[in-house]
Structure 1
């Protein structure tokens, strides 16, 4: 096997440990943490890793291909880069680094409304292939303007988010005074001084800000005013009344992210959506909720022929992608893994992490004797 990766960091765990050393504590804790006591954060990965696969060693094998078709587009791997807020806070210019890497490797990159590059820039870097995730605005005029911008930038897929009716209770972020930009307490300043590479890159690229939202934000907001602006501008609670106008307006593929139940899957189908992402926001919203792998199996079995079923939350490796695909996901997305990569290795981090995941997944397919990604369910051990 030829490894096209930095061999000092041959796992996402290695990247996470390196990232922890490279970025300020408040930024790392924002990236790494869940909500409340982190129960569902750990449940996501631990229960996913309970999934077991069986190899067929004596079956004829003509090679394994990672290529996967989704919404009529053939991607080079069955995984993409999930939307992450405040990316430039964790590593300066990281959304652009990741968008470029996704384009190079022909996988989807999803831009969050509340990350630190604009719709237009992400689509420029990906030649109109970036997906866009919309936090639902309270005002219809703002909603329509953002959607028109995504359409003008040639985004092929619009993702709407249903799992943030309220912001998750995250003790670390509360202690750290995390906002955008972060509250500059003496403790946070000391953390920044201890990470000179991060500080220099931040100086080089400038203070991170919500680039997509800049046209709608009053100038000169202080931290308290910024928080009030965000609360007044966005409402994460979706329902049929809010989804229908988006479906009518958006002519591309429309995906509902944050699905965790059969009920919401049925509603997505009824309202004419093209896909769902089974997700619990990376364990950052409901600590008492299920892991994503639990509802995925039932949803994929019952509704996989009616709507494209995808998954994120809890995936950290190529074997995790394999477990998800075997459990019925058509496609997968990872968030933290890519942010660990870019925080650890800077501008090389996106390329490294994608190459690492591809290498791991290819090895799993060769080991199982699995030739196509859609064949993974044939190797699932029912438990």
Structure 2
């Protein structure tokens, strides 16, 4: 359950991701905030991601020397400042101008990867120029295969470390908050959202002065589009629902670096991805934004980890708001987590300073959790530290 905290006015007053969420909510028009914050239909999958973390409890070890505890880890044989990466989030520039670049730089400062979404508001080339850190590119599979392969080639030429293929989005979800708020891209001015925008003059003035951010990597996707906003609105109907395992094998054959498959929640699919030669799996339900009623990612994690059997890393996203959430995911077998809304709220609340603040909060909480659990580093977070309602009942 979300706490009933106030919405802070300053970054200094933010002590949690929920505080950053509140500050972002205060700053943004409702339609923009709900576009980021909301899920599909009844939002049961969105809520389930959080309640899964709340159901699982930590049983800490005591009397362990944790004076020199460190949150660092390794992924793909490279060091990471902490077992987190910034996951792909589309439309970031609607929340704060150049947000993709700010998050990429913040990730580099914290020595973690940043994932650029195909529907990001900064280009592949701009992000590569802005950041010296580890960069991953997330590619939506498009009907226009020529355009898709050109994006992949651009990521290769820009020296992105990994390609992330999202496989849980053959069609877009039904996000009813957007309907109720009259949110669309291109923006349609209605009485409801005109008042909404007018009540947030700083955000609106930036939009009027500098224009609506575009999905830069999708420019040219729809040749009939006359403006950047029309390009953005065409993305939903551009997904390819025919993409299958054979096509994924083609991606594996043509992409020469790390290939991460995002959106798997079943053991049989995980085994098949391993056999195909993928380098990592992300257990994900798209943050509850697509299939409502989908299994919570933390609940799906053990089955996927068991199916993979240690052959490749398993990552997890969905609902990460605290350092304890990261610890629980690692204890259940994840190698790292992807951050979505957590860092989005930070950058939407206060730009580059907010991006750093979100990562600072999570790093501090994770390190504190390690020490309180009697773990000197992330490797010590094992299944024996987890208690769930079932295991509690079985042992009483």
Regarding TM over 0.5, the answer is yes
CA contact (8 A) 2:347 2:354 kept: yes
Give yes or no for the alignment of 1:381 onto 2:387. yes
Alignment deviations for residues 247-286 of structure 1 (CA, whole Å, 9 cap, x no partner): 1111110000011111210111111100000000001112
The 10-residue stretch of structure 1 (125-134 or 109-118) with the greater mean CA deviation from structure 2: 125-134
Q: Could you tell me which of 338, 346, 352 is aligned with 1:347? A: 352
Structure-1 residue corresponding to 2:6: none
Structure-1 residue corresponding to 2:340: 335
Tell me how far apart the structure 2 counterparts of residues 231 and 28 of structure 1 sit (CA, whole Å): 20
Alignment deviations for residues 12-43 of structure 1 (CA, whole Å, 9 cap, x no partner): 11111111110011101111111111111111
Q: Could you tell me which of 39, 43, 53 is aligned with 1:34? A: 39
CA contact (8 A) 1:76 1:106 kept: yes
CA contact (8 A) 2:266 2:303 kept: no
Structure-2 residue corresponding to 1:66: 71
The 10-residue stretch of structure 1 (195-204 or 254-263) with the greater mean CA deviation from structure 2: 195-204
Tell me the CA shift for residue 186 of structure 1: 2.7
> Within 5 Å, which residues of 2 pair with 1:302-313?
302-313=307-318
Tell me how far apart the structure 2 counterparts of residues 11 and 231 of structure 1 sit (CA, whole Å): 33
Structure-2 residue corresponding to 1:206: 211
Structure-1 residue corresponding to 2:53: 48
Tell me the CA shift for residue 373 of structure 1: 0.8
Determine helix, strand or coil for the equivalent of 1:374: helix
The 10-residue stretch of structure 1 (373-382 or 165-174) with the greater mean CA deviation from structure 2: 373-382
Residues 224 and 105 from structure 1, CA distance in 2 versus in 1: closer, same or farther, beyond 3 angstroms?
closer
Residues 72 and 197 from structure 1, CA distance in 2 versus in 1: closer, same or farther, beyond 3 angstroms?
same
Determine helix, strand or coil for the equivalent of 1:49: helix
Structure 2, unaligned runs of 5 or more: 1-9, 392-396
Tell me how far apart the structure 2 counterparts of residues 14 and 24 of structure 1 sit (CA, whole Å): 17
Tell me the CA shift for residue 216 of structure 1: 3.5
Tell me the CA shift for residue 218 of structure 1: 3.0
CA contact (8 A) 2:112 2:134 kept: no
CA RMSD of aligned residues (A): 2.1
Alignment deviations for residues 308-336 of structure 1 (CA, whole Å, 9 cap, x no partner): 10000011111111111111110101111
Tell me how far apart the structure 2 counterparts of residues 237 and 314 of structure 1 sit (CA, whole Å): 29
Tell me how far apart the structure 2 counterparts of residues 22 and 231 of structure 1 sit (CA, whole Å): 27
CA contact (8 A) 2:117 2:139 kept: yes
Tell me the CA shift for residue 357 of structure 1: 0.4
Q: How many residues align?
A: 379
Determine helix, strand or coil for the equivalent of 1:333: strand
Tell me how far apart the structure 2 counterparts of residues 144 and 322 of structure 1 sit (CA, whole Å): 37
Residues 128 and 206 from structure 1, CA distance in 2 versus in 1: closer, same or farther, beyond 3 angstroms?
farther
Tell me the CA shift for residue 7 of structure 1: 4.0
CA contact (8 A) 1:110 1:132 kept: yes
Tell me how far apart the structure 1 counterparts of residues 133 and 66 of structure 2 sit (CA, whole Å): 37
Structure-1 residue corresponding to 2:248: 243
Determine helix, strand or coil for the equivalent of 2:261: strand
Determine helix, strand or coil for the equivalent of 1:257: strand
Give yes or no for the alignment of 1:299 onto 2:304. yes
Tell me how far apart the structure 2 counterparts of residues 64 and 203 of structure 1 sit (CA, whole Å): 49
CA contact (8 A) 2:185 2:230 kept: no
* TM-score between both structures, scaled by the size of structure 1: 0.93
CA contact (8 A) 1:129 1:154 kept: no
CA contact (8 A) 1:162 1:237 kept: no
Structure-2 residue corresponding to 1:325: 330
Q: Could you tell me which of 189, 202, 205 is aligned with 1:184? A: 189
Structure-2 residue corresponding to 1:359: 364
Structure-2 residue corresponding to 1:216: 221
CA contact (8 A) 1:99 1:125 kept: yes
Tell me how far apart the structure 2 counterparts of residues 173 and 179 of structure 1 sit (CA, whole Å): 7
Tell me the CA shift for residue 205 of structure 1: 4.6
Determine helix, strand or coil for the equivalent of 1:155: coil
Tell me the CA shift for residue 298 of structure 1: 2.0
Tell me the CA shift for residue 228 of structure 1: 7.4
Alignment deviations for residues 162-207 of structure 1 (CA, whole Å, 9 cap, x no partner): 1111211111112333333322223222211111221233345532
Tell me the CA shift for residue 292 of structure 1: 0.5
Q: Could you tell me which of 266, 278, 283 is aligned with 2:271? A: 266
Determine helix, strand or coil for the equivalent of 2:13: coil
* TM-score between both structures, scaled by the size of structure 2: 0.90
